[in-house]
Amino acid sequence: MAQLQDQVTMAPATAVAEREDAPQKSFIDAIHDTLADEMRADDRIVLLGEDVGRRGGVFRVTAGLLDEFGPERVIDTPLAESCIIGSAIGMALNGLRPIAEIQFLDFIHSAMDQIMSEAAKIRYRSNNDFACPLVIRVPFGGGVHGALYHSQSIEAMFVHTPGLRVLAPAFPADAAGLLRAAIRGDDPVLFLEHKKMYRAIKGPVPTGDFEAPIGKARVVQEGTDVTIIAYGMMVHEALKAVSVVAEETGVSVELIDLRSLKPLDEDCLVQSAKKTGKVLVVTEANEACSVASEVAATVGEEAFAYLDAPVMRLAAPDVPAMPFSPPLEHAFLVDAEKIGAALRRLISY
């Protein structure tokens, strides 16, 4: 299997304004530091996954943790995704708080049975006799020349599965806060880390013990004319698009970062749609049955009387995955340019 870390392109840093007093951290450091803090505070926490120990993770998210916590708590597993998740479930059932890593979301399919049939259903099927407090961390998303099998954005399948929580932070503060909430919660959580953001996105991260609320979106900027709803890297692409289009047209855009894909913050989305009347939902995943489709359907249903245009989705085309060669990847990928074009269409509707 290709080791991707050498091929990840370092995109230029994008600063995101937030709580100005908090120290700036990269997305990857926010995750790493939270893992370390939590493992220090709770010795039931165990990390397991391929290359998470010695190598510190192929993206180096778990660097140094083996040294600090030892091999019993940081396990380099064999190349067996189903067993990684299955044994993590067993650990969760017997008093530990496991955090399993699947090296790329593209490789999670082997573990689907364990995630869907087991983790998601354990509490429900046992009528609350058992719980499965498990965090599954997975790098996802494209734009790093990862091609078909290192770029996938297939989170929709998990959002479709009751019993799971699915999180996809876009800012370092949320990466830290949501990860902490996931670790401390008692439900199985799929924690998606956009691999392009690891080093490209920096932002303020509060110090100390803070959790971000699962199920609440983040209003990145307020506006009155159009609402853009996005998650992951698309939030940053949308920010770029909005600044260009706003300067040209004077449009006032409200940008919402879902950050929690399941559960969705329906109230926030619907309120915004009622305010602006025009909504664009952006995802880098394939369009059919995407999270964007779910958001669009919800907004259309709940905010119908207030809409001044049909709810629009912008997503990847119906092509199996992201191609490798740069022009092909560019054609596939949703980026600031495409978001800007969609935004312009929506403004003039």
Partner 1 sequence: MTTEVTNAPDKAVQGAFNPQSTAVSDQLPGHYPPPSATFEATTISAQVAPSSTGDAGLPPETLIDMYRHLALARALDERMWQLNRSGTAAFIVSGQGHEGAQVGAGFALERGIDFLLPYYRDLALSLVFGLSATDVMMAALARAPDPTSGGRQMPAHYGSARLNIITSSSPVATQIPHAVGIAYAARMRKTGAVAIACFGEGGSSKGDFHESCNFAAIHKLPVIFFCENNNYAISVPVEEQVSIEHVADRAAAYGFPGVVVDGTDVLAVYQVIKDAAERARKGEGPTLVEAKVYRFQPHTSDDDDRTYRDPDEVKAWRARDPLAQFEARLRDLGVLDDEQVARIRSDINREVDHATDAAEQAPYPDSSTFDRHVYADR
Partner 2 sequence: MPTGTLTTIAMPQLGESVVEGMVGTWLKQVGDRIEKYDSLVELETDKASAELPAPVSGVLVEIMVEPGTTVAVGAGLCRIQEAGAVSDEPAMPEHAPVRPSNGNGAYADPVRAPSMARVHGEEIPDEATVLRARSSPVVRRIAEEHGIEIGSVEGTGTGGRVTKRDILAYVADHVEQSVNETLRREPAALPSIEPVPRTAVTVYPGDDVIPVSAMRRSIAEHMVRSERTAPHATVVMEVDMTGAVAWRTSRKEEFRRREGVDLTYLSLVMKSVTLALRDHPRLNAVWDEERIIHRKSINIGVAVALEDGLVVPVIRNADRFSVAGLAIALAEAAEKARSGGFAPDDLAGGTFTLNNPGTFGSLVSTPILVQPQVAILSTEAIIKRPVVVDDMIGIRSMMNLSLSIDHRALDGLAAARFLQQVRAWLEDVSDNLPLY
127 binds partner 2, rule: CB under 8 A:
no
Q: Does 301 bind partner 2 (CB under 8 A)?
A: no
Q: Which is nearer to partner 1, 126 or 207 (CB)?
A: 126
Given CA atoms 270, 173, 138, 230 in this order, what sign does their dihedral have?
A: positive
Which partner from the list partner 2, partner 1, none does 32 bind, CB cut-off 5 to 8 Å by kind?
none
Do the Cβ atoms of 225 and 38 come closer than 8 Å? no
Task: Restricting to residues 268-287, name those near partner 2 by CB under 8 A.
Answer: 277
Pull the structure tokens for residue 2.
């290709």
Angle of CA points 227, 230, 235, to nearest 5°: 105
Q: At 107, which helix (H) or strand (E)?
A: none
Name which of partner 1, partner 2, none residue 110 binds, using a CB cut-off of 5 to 8 Å depending on partner kind. Answer: partner 1
Q: Which of 337, 331, 259, 268 is nearest to 291 (CA)?
A: 259
Q: Which is nearer to partner 2, 159 or 245 (CB)?
A: 245
The answer to whether 250 contacts partner 2 (rule: CB under 8 A) is no
User: If contact means CB under 5 to 8 A according to the sort of partner, which of partner 1, partner 2, none does residue 80 touch?
Assistant: partner 1
Nearer CB in complex with partner 1: 85/200: 85
3-state secondary structure of 146: coil
> Which letter does DSSP use for residue 115 in this model?
I
Provide the 10 A C-beta neighbour count for residue 75: 21
Please say if 160 is a catalytic residue.
no
How many separate helices (H) and strands (E) can be counted in the chain? 13, 15
Q: Please state the closest distance from residue 84 (CB atom) to partner 1, in A.
A: 8
**Cα(336)–Cα(349) distance, integer angstroms:** 20
When CB distances are held under 5 to 8 angstroms depending on the partner's kind, the choice from partner 2, partner 1, none that residue 219 binds is none
Given the rule CB under 8 A, which residues bind partner 1? 46, 72, 77-78, 80, 82-83, 85-96, 98, 110, 113-114, 117-118, 121-131, 162-163, 165, 185-187
Cα–Cα distance, 98 to 91 (Å, whole number): 7
Figure out which of the listed residues 23, 162, 305, 320 binds partner 2, where binding follows CB under 8 A.
305
DSSP helix, strand, coil percent of the chain (3-state; round to 5): 40, 20, 40
Taking the least distance from each CB to partner 1, the nearer of 96 and 233 is: 96
Q: Which of 117, 267, 304, 319 binds partner 2 (CB under 8 A)?
A: 304
Given 94, 127, 128, 348, the residue binding partner 2 (CB under 8 A): 348
- The reply to whether 308 sits near partner 2 by the rule CB under 8 A is yes
Least separation in angstroms between CB 226 and partner 2 = 11
Question: CA-based angle 6:8:13, to the nearest 5?
Answer: 130
Tokens of 208: 């100390």
Question: Shortest CA distance to 171 belongs to which of 231, 104, 238?
Answer: 231
Residue among 191, 189, 136, 185 nearest 165 (CA): 189
Nearest residue (CB) to partner 2, 79 versus 341: 341
Task: Give the integer Cα–Cα distance in Å for 178 and 181.
Answer: 5
Under the binding rule (CB under 8 A), the answer on residue 309 touching partner 2 is: yes
The residue among 112 and 309 lying less far from partner 2, judged by its C-beta, is 309
Query: How far apart are alpha carbons 132 and 335 in whole angstroms?
Result: 37
- Given partner 2, partner 1, none, residue 309, with its beta carbon under 5 to 8 Å by kind, binds partner 2
Least Cβ distance, residue 120 to partner 1 (angstroms): 9
Residue 349 partner contact from partner 2, partner 1, none using kind-dependent CB cut-offs of 5 to 8 Å: partner 2
Least distance in Å: CB of 300 to partner 2?
Answer: 10
Element (H, E) at 130: none
Q: Which residue is catalytic, options 32, 109, 145, 150? A: 150
- The residues binding partner 2 (CB under 8 A) are 277, 304-309, 348-349
Instruction: List residues with catalytic annotation.
Output: 150
